[in-house]
């Protein structure tokens, strides 16, 4: 491990806004395999991690935390939590939030598979999935699969929104198919976000104009990377408050076709900063 990463990991331990639980704090090894154990912060985020209670917005797979931080600065009436497993990435967002004394930002370092251990029913107002790995070969690993949507439903408020912003047409179309087979409302969707006028994307009742503007104006490191490679940015917004088990789309989603549309990815990176 490089000296730079070690320095970041050490500094991460000093950030009040960053929670880094050990795996054994939330995972029990029982006779039937591993089972989740509730973390003490579950149901207490507003009182333990923020300066005052506000509706909480969760970003899953937040990477360096740019989206979490930018949304928090634009919307001081919400508290924001970015979740990722990579400590070296989270360092950048946590460092910024600490340096700029942002009181409505927190970060959680954990696997998203453990997410139910950290949030109580109704504790989360919205979820953002920003440039998630499309998991072309593993449906259950996709963050919009029925397995994950059922997890989110356990802590998302009734009527709460789930936003998917991605460069992956495969993941976008898969998510649309999941919504269709489960009768989940698609409140907004486009396969080319920046070619879609803001006023056409949402009704004012579904999303205030200033928050729609943020969708267009906030761009992560990976979003800039994918746009530089020529990929169009897609967006979808849904609600997941239907009861009962969620179904996989099965033959309603032509995975082979959309996998071929996805094509190979280039592997260059933008400069740091």
- Which of the residues are catalytic? 133
Q: ∠ CA(247), CA(112), CA(125), 5° rounding?
A: 75
Q: What is the CA radius of gyration of the chain?
A: 18
Which region, left, alpha or beta, applies to residue 220 given φ > 0 means left and ψ of -120 to 50 means alpha?
A: beta
In sequence order, the 6+-apart residues with CB closer than 8 A to the CB of 19 are: 41, 49, 106, 107, 108, 109
> CA of 270: how far to CAs of 54, 196, 220, 223, 262, in Å?
35, 26, 11, 11, 21
Size of the chain, expressed as the number of residues it contains: 273
Number of C-beta neighbours around residue 173 at 10 A:
21
In 202-251, alpha helices (H): 209-217, 221-228
Q: Give the torsion sign (CA, 205, 210, 214, 217).
A: positive
């Amino acid at each position: 491990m490089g000296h730079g990463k070690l320095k970041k990991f050490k500094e991460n331990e000093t950030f009040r806004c960053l929670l880094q639980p050990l795996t054994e704090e939330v995972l029990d090894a029982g006779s039937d395999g591993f089972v989740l154990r509730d973390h003490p912060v579950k149901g207490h985020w507003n009182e333990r991690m923020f300066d005052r209670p506000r509706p909480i917005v969760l970003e899953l797979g937040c990477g360096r935390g740019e989206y979490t931080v930018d949304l928090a600065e634009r919307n001081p009436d919400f508290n924001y939590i970015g979740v990722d497993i990579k400590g070296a990435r989270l360092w950048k967002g946590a460092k910024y939030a600490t340096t700029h004394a942002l009181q409505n930002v927190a970060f959680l370092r954990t696997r998203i598979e453990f997410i139910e251990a950290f949030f109580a029913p109704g504790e989360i107002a919205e979820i953002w999935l920003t440039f998630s790995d499309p998991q072309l070969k593993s449906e259950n690993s996709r963050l919009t699969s029925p397995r994950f949507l059922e997890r989110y439903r356990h802590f998302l408020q009734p009527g709460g929104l789930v936003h998917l912003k991605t460069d992956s047409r495969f993941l976008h179309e898969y998510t649309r198919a999941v919504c269709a087979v489960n009768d989940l409302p698609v409140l907004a969707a486009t396969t080319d976000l920046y070619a879609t006028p803001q006023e056409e994307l949402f009704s004012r009742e579904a999303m205030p104009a200033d928050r729609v503007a943020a969708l267009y104006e906030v761009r992560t490191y990976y979003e800039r990377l994918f746009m530089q490679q020529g990929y169009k940015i897609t967006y979808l917004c849904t609600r997941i408050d239907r009861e009962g088990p969620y179904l996989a789309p099965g033959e309603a989603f032509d995975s082979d076709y959309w996998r071929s549309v996805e094509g190979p990815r280039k592997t260059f990176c933008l400069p740091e900063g």
